[in-house]
Chain A
Amino acid sequence: EVQLVESGGGLVKPGGSLRLSCAASGFIFSDYTFIWVRQAPGKGLEWVSSITSGSNNIYYADSVKGRFTVSRDNAKTTLYLQMSSLRAEDTALYYCTRDVYTGSRIEAFDIWGRGTLVTVSS
């Protein structure tokens, strides 16, 4: 079964750090670009970061640049999001998703995990 499973969320104090993981199965992980998307409670979706299949190109939203680092381990078929200097406004459900048309001009995010909740509070 093709799936993504996020983990690593939890309660952390402002200024703290957390590392999220996204474990992939059922497809060739190394073939795809992945993104992280977050959703604050009761709010809309926000694109956070993208990483290409070979980690050659990485992008971040301005709101997390300099604080978050995306990476991947193709051998372990796992995507990561290292979050530091966390703020209350980073509180959200974090999803990972893949770009099914990686390698083409088209982008489309077809498989999503269920998300992992990050709560930043003292």
Chain B
Amino acid sequence: AIQMTQSPSSLSASVGDRVTISCRASQGIRDDLGWYQQKPGKAPKLLIYAASSLHSGVPSRFSGSGYGTDFTLTINSLQPDDFATYYCLQDNTYPHTFGGGTVVEIK
């Protein structure tokens, strides 16, 4: 199975900061990667699909990039509502696999 390694596992940031989260695949997955946000006690929410496409209704401060094995989620000007856990998910090959998650905390 393809392993997805997310880094960092957690980070502390302030409102207004620019935040980047990385996801590395153990083998090439083209652009078959999505990013999901999860808040405590809630279901995940789709942010980005196909590595860089913004899902409808998601604020434009979220962006994704990457191809092959290395991917990045960027949050420009972090807002209070953005403090959450973020997961990448590869959908290139079965079994699909999630990254381990990145907790974004308030500094």
Contacts and interface: CB of A to CB of B under 8 A. Distances in A.
Interface of A: 35, 37, 44-47, 50, 59-62, 95, 97, 100-101, 106-110, 112-115
A75 B16 CA distance: 49
Most buried by A among B53, B87, B96, B97: B96
Interface stretch (B18-26, B43-51, B65-73, B75-83): B43-51
Interface of B: 1, 32, 34, 36, 38, 43-46, 49-50, 53, 55, 87, 89, 91, 94-101
B87 A45 contact: yes
Contacts of A46: 98
Contact of B101 (A35, A44, A47, A110): A44
A112 B44 contact: yes
